[in-house]
Structure 1
Amino acid sequence: MKGVIMRRILPGLFALLLLCTVILSSPAFCQENPPEDDVPEYSYIRARIIKVVDLKNPEGTGTSGLPEQNQLVTVKLLDAQYKGREMEIIHTLTNHPGYDVKVKPGDQVVLYAEPEGDKLNNVYIEDFARDHKMLYLVFLFIILLLLVGGKQGLKSIFTLTVTVGAVFFGLLPLMFRGYNPIGVTVIISAAVTTFTLLVIGGKSAKTLSAIMGTIGGVLVAGILAFLVGSAAHLTGFSDEEMQMLVYIPQQIDFDYRGILFSGMIIGALGAVMDVGMSIASAVDEIKKANPMMGKTALIRAGMNVGRDIMGTMSNTLILAYTGGAIPLMLVFMAYKMPFVKILNLDLIATEIVRALAGSIGLIVAIPITSIIAGILLEGRKKYPHRQERLHDNDPYQM
């Protein structure tokens, strides 16, 4: 039975995902976007601060009404095309901590520039260069995965790389070309789930249980988010970034609400996948330890494990969204905004639907995974140790 499942269901699942991807990639399923000729040409260039000289501002304030302090900053360009070239830039500070980039010699920054041949026009300091610092954290993450996880850690790095690639080179480009964001997200989520769990868990009934439980939980989360979000008139424009999409030069007619619901599905995927694999692995180990356990007992064991996981994982999702909203909640407290107004804001309603839909999908994944794991693993041979016990008691056994 298990061999039939592995030979037929998993290849069939891959074939279905491949077919859906091919269909969605056809021109009939996307809109024609206008040419990108109107996109401005500019570059971002890394540079190191060499010298900073404060300049006097005779007026004391700038066009924004904020007090300004101008600096003459000497920078050395670090990118290959301009490597070693030095430039002097007028850098303006406004005494606003959210806007100012306060630099000193030795700092690495990112410059905005409009290239014209070998000449750079309209050059100014955009921000600090942070990528090289974040690389240290990435290396630490990889080292710890390898030290603690060993072979499984290496698999985790591989699957994480594929997942990130699927999002940045699959999901986002397809959305940008005008494909239905919900359909694309569901297919890519299913593909990422199948690939990740197959690499981590191998080709087994345990893995199939985790895959089906994860996909089921994510689908429930997506459907709930869509139904409740539509009924609650969520616009999708609660984020500043979503509003910026309206004004991009390509003038793409995005499905903004669909993008919102797609984000909810992706946000829930990791936690639901974790729950699905944890329950399937637990049921598999229980079956190995007690081969005589039947389907009902295995399902009950999976549910017991799921109940222990449920509380902490739900907290993980809700606290993750709450943590990102702490500054906003402080603003509400400062202005003593009424609770009724807070609860009915598009931004707050969106985050509530996002957190609760993901948590419900996580909860639903528990019984789905437990039931499928109980059914599939019940077929495993119930008496694998009987022959060993007979041999141990055989007086003629040498």
Structure 2
Amino acid sequence: MGAHGHPEGPTLPMNRIAWAVLVPLALATLVGLVLLWPSSSPPPAQAPAQEFQGVVLALQAEECTGEQGGPPSSCGTVTARISTPDGDREIEAPLSSGPSAPDLSVGDDVIVAVSESPDGPIYGVVDHQRGSELVLVLVALSLALVAFGRWRGLSALVGLAITFGVLFVFIVPSVIAGSSPVLVALVGASLITLSVLYLTHGISLPTTVAVLGTMSALALTAALSELTVGLLHLTGTTDDISTAVATTYGIDTRGLLVASIIIGSVGVLDDVTVTQAATVTEISRANPAYGVGQLFGAAARVGRSHIASVVNTVVLAYAGSSLPLLVLVVANNDSVVKVATTQLIAQEVARSAVATLGLIAAVPLTTGLAALATRSAKADVEDAEPMSEPA
């Protein structure tokens, strides 16, 4: 193909090749969705305590001393009115103490748990109600997105709803039902990529290239995750929550760790691949004489700068989620080498490293596909024009 995009002999347009690859991927995702869809909800491991909504009516606090000479803490009782199927009733519960205990004031909306004992029901205030506050936060986010992004902001909100739907309707129930966490994560990540990218950026050749780049990088991320987790002998069981997941539901925590790396990489990969595909499109418009190599080189330079900032974002995101752990490590004055080799830290290092490798691979993969697609589309404008609108 010449520098000006004229075909040299018969050419199979790149957009046809892209769709020829994308359609089987979409069908495979659909088949995986059907095969892995949870047939029924698993029974709970034990009967959960009843919980009721209530409001704090009064507090009677008194100072008490912790066991074995511990620091003083707050003791006493809390009086609350709870709403039950049999009507409202007033109850008294111990005033909880400790770091995780809710900080209560008169008038607070709370959640009260009730458990049965031989001496009668036992009540405990376990948490605050946050429904109205969460709705307020989500409404503020939605208004800001729509006000700034308009239709794109609205489509982003719909895409966010789809992502949460896939997570809580398919991925989590399927894992609990006993399906392979890695297979479920791959199918779920593919479904999110296909639906959200096309919804947010429209059906276009750049979006199709971004989808293919994301899928390729996800496959590489999955393979690297399996390799790294095996190489470091990680089990995925590092705290009480992961232990409870394994013992209560029999879930493979090692597979769950790999699945979490795959799912955690999707959002950042989407960002990188969409940016690279759009960059190639804009460079091609600004420089119609550029060939595939020139388009790749120019867009790759942009990708290198993008990766440098995104990698920092990935590491900070994992560090932020593990900040209590980092505080504990520093407070104990443990050596860096000793701490880094523990499974708890090694697991987070593996997450960051594998996600970063997937991001790095996504740049040349997507940039190369976009450069080929753009030049091939220009070779047959009439055939590719309906799909060549920028994302």
Q: Same fold (TM over 0.5)?
A: yes
> 1:103-252 to 2 correspondence within 5 Å?
103-114=104-115, 121-248=121-248, 252=249
Q: Are 1:108 and 1:128, in contact at CA under 8 Å, matched by a contact in 2?
A: yes
Sort the Cα spacing of 1:38 and 1:198 in 2 relative to 1 into closer, same or farther, 3 A. Answer: closer
Higher RCO structure, 1 or 2 (CA under 8 Å, sep 6+): 2
Query: 1:56, 1:201 → 2: CA distance?
Result: 59
What's 2:77 paired with? 72
Question: 2:270 matched to 1:258?
Answer: no
What's 1:333 paired with? 330
Q: Are 1:47 and 1:111, in contact at CA under 8 Å, matched by a contact in 2?
A: yes
Cα shift readout 1:269-311 (whole Å, capped 9, x = no counterpart) = 1111110011111111222333332222221222122111011
Query: 2:362, 2:294 → 1: CA distance?
Result: 18
Three-state SS of the structure 1 residue aligned to 2:114 is strand
Three-state SS of the structure 2 residue aligned to 1:16 is helix
TM-score by length of 1: 0.84
Q: Are 1:210 and 1:277, in contact at CA under 8 Å, matched by a contact in 2?
A: yes
Give, in angstroms, the shift of residue 65 of structure 1: 6.9
Listed as ranges, the gaps of 5+ residues in structure 1 are: 385-398
Give, in angstroms, the shift of residue 25 of structure 1: 4.1
Q: Are 2:38 and 2:170, in contact at CA under 8 Å, matched by a contact in 1?
A: no
What's 1:89 paired with? 92
Q: Are 1:20 and 1:187, in contact at CA under 8 Å, matched by a contact in 2?
A: yes
Query: 1:139, 1:151 → 2: CA distance?
Result: 16
Cα shift readout 1:192-247 (whole Å, capped 9, x = no counterpart) = 11111111222221011101111122222221121111111111112331012134
**Aligned residue among 3, 11, 21 for 2:33:** 21
Three-state SS of the structure 1 residue aligned to 2:95 is strand
Query: 2:32, 2:92 → 1: CA distance?
Result: 52
Q: Are 2:38 and 2:177, in contact at CA under 8 Å, matched by a contact in 1?
A: no
Query: 1:344, 1:77 → 2: CA distance?
Result: 49
Query: 1:63, 1:170 → 2: CA distance?
Result: 47
Q: Are 1:228 and 1:353, in contact at CA under 8 Å, matched by a contact in 2?
A: yes
Three-state SS of the structure 2 residue aligned to 1:337 is coil
Question: 2:289 matched to 1:292?
Answer: yes
Give, in angstroms, the shift of residue 342 of structure 1: 0.5
Q: Are 2:38 and 2:174, in contact at CA under 8 Å, matched by a contact in 1?
A: no
Three-state SS of the structure 2 residue aligned to 1:127 is strand
Q: Are 1:2 and 1:205, in contact at CA under 8 Å, matched by a contact in 2?
A: no
What's 2:385 paired with? none
Query: 1:266, 1:53 → 2: CA distance?
Result: 47
Query: 2:129, 2:232 → 1: CA distance?
Result: 41
What's 1:51 paired with? 58
Query: 2:363, 2:317 → 1: CA distance?
Result: 21
Amino acid at match of 2:28: L
Q: Are 2:272 and 2:363, in contact at CA under 8 Å, matched by a contact in 1?
A: yes
- Using the TM superposition, name which of 65-74 and 136-145 deviates more: 65-74
Amino acid at match of 2:93: I
TM-score by length of 2: 0.85
Query: 2:301, 2:122 → 1: CA distance?
Result: 63
Aligned residues: 367
Give, in angstroms, the shift of residue 131 of structure 1: 3.3
Cα shift readout 1:95-121 (whole Å, capped 9, x = no counterpart) = x3x1332311111111112489xxx93
Q: Percent identity?
A: 25
What's 1:42 paired with? 49
> 1:1-20 to 2 correspondence within 5 Å?
1=13, 4-5=16-17, 8-20=20-32
Query: 1:364, 1:346 → 2: CA distance?
Result: 26
Query: What's the RMSD between the two structures over aligned residues?
Result: 2.8
Give, in angstroms, the shift of residue 160 of structure 1: 0.8
Three-state SS of the structure 1 residue aligned to 2:233 is coil
Three-state SS of the structure 1 residue aligned to 2:122 is strand
Q: Are 2:303 and 2:363, in contact at CA under 8 Å, matched by a contact in 1?
A: yes
Amino acid at match of 2:43: E
Give, in angstroms, the shift of residue 61 of structure 1: 5.5
Amino acid at match of 2:95: T
What's 1:370 paired with? 367
Three-state SS of the structure 2 residue aligned to 1:233 is coil
- Using the TM superposition, name which of 218-227 and 178-187 deviates more: 218-227
Query: 1:283, 1:379 → 2: CA distance?
Result: 13
Query: 1:164, 1:371 → 2: CA distance?
Result: 32
Runs of 4+ with >6 A deviation = 62-66
Sort the Cα spacing of 1:103 and 1:234 in 2 relative to 1 into closer, same or farther, 3 A. Answer: same
Query: 1:104, 1:325 → 2: CA distance?
Result: 30
